[in-house]
A = this chain, B = another copy of it.
Amino acid sequence: MRELTQPSRDEITFVEVLHALADPARLQIVAHLADGRRESCSGINEGMDVHQTTMSHHYRVLREAGLTWTTIEGRSRYVTLRRADLDARFPGFLAGVLTQLPEPARPS
């Protein structure tokens, strides 16, 4: 399992986090991961009406801002929300964001 280059906790900046969140599709991804789940990008993509190339861009923006942690396993990428890192850097902020987001529609 290899990992992508992504910022350490201390490298995460508030402006970059705000920028990464300022997009409807990226907010939808964050809402999907809000409960702490680790999810494959392909699994998230299924529930969203966005072209895969655009989705790849959104995952990169979220990863580079430090909002998500991405791992590669074989041909799949998995993402989780960096809740602990974000709570340590910006106490209370992410919770304040998540409460604004609708519950994601998830397949039963």
Interface residues, chain A, with chain B CB atoms under 8 Å away? 14-16, 18-19, 21-24, 27, 90-93, 95-97, 99-100
Contact = CB atoms under 8 A, between A and B. Distances in A.
For the complex formed by this chain, how many copies does it contain in all? 2
A99 B90 CA distance: 8
Q: Classify the interface of chain A: helix, strand, loop or mixed.
A: helix
A4 B93 CA distance: 31
Contacts of A21: 18, 22
A6 B74 CA distance: 50
21 contacts: A14-B27, A15-B22, A15-B23, A15-B24, A15-B27, A16-B22, A18-B18, A18-B21, A18-B22, A19-B19, A19-B22, A90-B96, A90-B100, A91-B99, A92-B96, A92-B99, A93-B96, A93-B97, A93-B99, A96-B96, A96-B97
A24 B18 CA distance: 11
